Amino acid sequence: MRIGGFMLGAVAGLAAAVYVSRKRPGMAAWASSSLAGACSSIGRSAASMMMRRGMNKAMAATNMAPKHSDDTAGKQGGGWEQVEKLINNDPGLKEQASQIMAESSFKPH
């Protein structure tokens, strides 16, 4: 579209708005408030769409965390054995671990 056609449309729209506002002032006010409501509705819709996209991206990023397979589960079991060996080698640490286990298994009635 050429700039001349755009300017002609703008002038024609302005002339129509002036004519309507002089003939029927209530109608011009109604049209103005309707346009403002439509614009704010479009703005809210766009903002909520952007927020949903952002949340979807965040959810996708958290779901992309590496999952443990059966192979890694077996390797982790060996880690607990190493922790148990370390606890058994240190008498003070073994006493603290026993105390923590006793406290955690205590369930009041």
Q: Per-residue pLDDT averaged across 94-100, rounded?
A: 86
What pLDDT was estimated at residue 100? 84
Sign of torsion over alpha carbons 6, 12, 15, 16:
negative
CA nearest to 18, candidates 31, 1, 4: 31
Per-residue pLDDT tens digits for 44-73: 888 888 888 877 777 776 665 555 555 555
Rounded distance between C-alpha atoms, residue 18 and residue 9, angstroms: 14
Per-residue pLDDT tens digits for 71-89: 555 556 567 788 888 888 8
H or E, element range at 40: helix 25-63
Sign of torsion over alpha carbons 30, 32, 37, 41:
positive
